[in-house]
Copies of this chain bind each other. A is one copy, B any other.
Amino acid sequence: MELLRAMCHISAPAGHETQLTEFVLRYVKQNMGQWHTTPAVLAGGEFQDCIILVFGSPRTAVFAHLDSIGFTVRYGRQLIRIGGPMAETGYRLVGEDSQGKIDCTLVVDEDTGALSYDFHREIDRGTELTFYCDFRETATTVQSCYLDNRLGVWNALRLCETLEHGIVVFSCWEEHGGGSVAYLAKHIYETYGVRQALISDITWVTEGVHPGQGVAISLRDSLIPRRAYVDRIRRIAAESGIPHQLEVEGSGGSDAKELQHGAQPWDWCFVGAPEDNVHSPDEIVDKRDIESMLALYRVLMRDL
């Protein structure tokens, strides 16, 4: 899990994904020689900080978002949220501004819920702070901030090793209202005619989705995917024998929001491992669920 560990340590809050984009691009260029199929790599310029990898004759695209939640420094010592991070007094936050590296502490006002930081100096207005990464691995689990969605990115990169036909997309801004999938989806549909999507992202442990029982196939979240497509995925998963769970939620969203609302007729389904301690520095995932996630993606990209 060295690749995962490395990516969890990289700062990439929504809107400022550059460092992770560069890391992934470097990884792709260094490793694609060993992959079964060499993809075309689309990045830079009109793709902003996103990356598209095109393998063979694609029928399905995998979307994994690069960005994470975090905090922006406002005025004085105030912080405001990037996306929806958990906030507890004492969380360690890191970043960098014109005066150098920052390693400070989150403070939550007990009465108002207002967020601020505790540090020996003022931090530049507009500086992004992210959780300090304490990556912990056991025989059965990985634990760190930002498994959502470094694990989805990891899954997509591992999938590349054996992928023959398909598209792998690394997107931006997912945690903060979106902003890249609309144009990525348009480009992919218009260039390759592809309109089947899998969302490689991390979901929640709940009373219906348990750690260790396999990757979750989401039947719905705040949005409802087209039943006919989800049913095909369920059939392929059932026939594969790979452990998986069915998720049904009334809230939550993903890159699929932009696919659903965009001007191309995408079919989409969220397929991802569940985590506990969501959006905190202590996100934890069962390794068996990571394994079944990758295994199911391999089958789905072949059979869909």
Contact = CB atoms under 8 A, between A and B. Distances in A.
A236 to B, nearest CB: 16
A33 interface: no
A107 interface: no
A195 interface: yes
A30 B158 CA distance: 52
Contacts of A49: 226, 228
A183 B220 contact: no
Interface of A: 14-16, 18, 46-49, 72-76, 80-82, 125-126, 128, 172-173, 176-180, 182-183, 185-186, 195, 206-208, 219-220, 222-228, 246, 248-250, 258, 260-265, 267
A72 B73 CA distance: 39
A249 B75 CA distance: 9
The complex is assembled from copies of this chain, and their number is: 3
Given A178-B261, A264-B183, A72 B248 contact: yes
Contacts of A76: 207-208
B223 A176 contact: yes
5 contacts: A15-B220, A46-B195, A76-B208, A125-B219, A182-B261
A248 B176 contact: no
Contacts of A207: 75-76
B15 A179 contact: no
A261 B220 CA distance: 22
Contacts of A180: 265
A93 to B, nearest CB: 16
